Structure 1
Amino acid sequence: MSITYVDAIREAQEQLLKDDPRVFLYGQDISRFGGAFKATKGLADAYPGRVLDSPISEDAMVGMAIGSAIDGMRPILEMQFADFSSVGFNQIVNQAATHFYRTGIPVPITVRLPSGGTPGSGPFHSQSMESIYAHYPGLVVVTPATVSDAYQMLIESVALDDPVLYCEHKFLYRWLKAPKIDHDGLPLGRARITRHGRHATIVTYSAMVHEAVRAADRLQQESGWEIEVVDLRTVKPLDMDTVLASVARTGRLLTLGESFPWGGVTAEVVARVCSEGFHLLDAPPKRLNSRDTPVPYHPNLWAAHRPTPESICIAMRELLSF
């Protein structure tokens, strides 16, 4: 018996509803229907009145959640797709993110963002929004890459007094499985060394962690290179201590992300390593993102649009040959 990534998200929400009467779920078709990806399936029956269908207005959804959080509740919002959160952008970045700074009153909302691409999803259902939200002070942005993190980091997100963007990757929902949920004690805000190495470091997060590990395994089998993979886990806050310690061991850095290349998390990591750890580098750092175009519909074009083990290996060979 195994548990999937989306099962872990559902189980975390069930546990939160059980443990804390302030928690409620709010989103489009999440009640009887169970949500677009069935992450709330059955919860409305188990917790009547606390799993609520929203209007088709992300702006109204976030506004209601902010008001309820100010009044003492702990809402969990489900966006059907991360892309649609842009409709509620004003509420998230101008209201939720700034409220504690302006008033001293926290806004403990958690916004679940089904993020990233899947074959055939196209430009309106495949975007990775974490870099945009990480730009704004007052927001916490988490990007779980494992089944256990999907569970534990949602529990921790709801416990925070800060507004949280919980970026769950759709491609991992049913593909990623684990025999059980473990907690290794890493708190929210700390990165994890997913794979140890000594020749180069890949810093990444979310679904790209698994692509990085595949590429690292291939490079070791083919050439003997030992590549370290750092899973950021959260992109805001950013655990630069773990990143710099890894670069100190390896001397080379590739930052990897599925989001668009202009600016963003990968650029931020490169900038900070250059400013805080330039003396640690034996080669110019590289970054690899999806292409700077809208996400294509066709599965073959989508596969060419985003980083893959093949493109990661090409980038790593260039880095290692410097």
Structure 2
Amino acid sequence: MMKIPFNTLDRQFFMYQDEYEKKALDILRSGWYILGPEVEKFEKEFANYIGTKYSLGIDNGLNALVLAFRALGIKKGDEVLVQGNTFIASVMGITMNGGTPIFIEPDKFDNINVNLIEEKITKKTKAICVVHLYGQTSNMDKIMELSKKYNLYIIEDCAQSHGSMFNNKMSGSFGDIACFSFYPGKNLGCFGDGGAVTTNNKELYLKMKMLRNYGSSKKYYNDEVGYNSRLDELQAGLLRVKLSHIKELTEEREKIASNYLTKIKNSKIVLPQLRKGATSVWHLFVIKTDQRNELQKYLEKNGIDTVIHYPIPPHLSKAYEYLGYKSGDFPITEKYAETVLSLPIYNGMTEDEQNHVINIINKY
């Protein structure tokens, strides 16, 4: 029986093996491993790719969020609007700074429902955290309008959307700050943990630059109590190699997604939808079905690995019990948690593997 993993990272490594290995050896032999030329070059190249003035390498996606909210001055008593069906890190960035997350239901594209934002804005609202979930850019026109109208900060969580666009503008270039994760499974993933922030605001850039390095702008002179949140040279160098191939890697994922969208035909399954004006980089291919657990077992029996993104929404997690939410408070978010299922999609996925997934699902 054909075995299809949910994801496999070695295939895209082998595509560019010589480049990765040469880069790693060059860095190892250079004797410079923290905040050196590779990080600087990556930051310039990544800012250029996203279309912002500044980019800053961070040690992981969660800390990118923590630093972003800290730099914006989010503190106890401040409210931040965020979609309910996100990965919990989006919420942790808020609460680790003392802020209160105010959850908004998602729309049919799995992103924040912009029509529900305005009614949740209060005097305490300081920011909107926009998550471009599963790889598709949110409705940024409407969000930027609200930001202007109510004078709110916009933080983009681009952990899953490297290279996606809305009206031909790159996700990560709209808000005050955007946060990226380079966890190995991401579209632009490194070989360990890594992350970045992007911004057009020099003041915020310098503030985060100081915060990521023990609150220090000058060695051993500490202006604030900061973090040790630096992207290292090795990861930055390997990310530079991958960034140079991101176009073809993204196109390959688009091709796989298009194959799924065209050929999966089963009335029990709802396929992902694309918003007008938005693109997706298909970090995940997420279907919905009322028979999720049965379908998952059936696929497993047929050699196909799947994952649920995400089975427990943040408002019902043990970590956020103290917020006092209960089951039924966000019915759409909770319905998604009970019905979503992510199918295998990865660089290097063969046509035979894709067709196996399609045929098995169509037979369900």
Give the TM-score normalised by structure 1: 0.36
Give the TM-score normalised by structure 2: 0.32
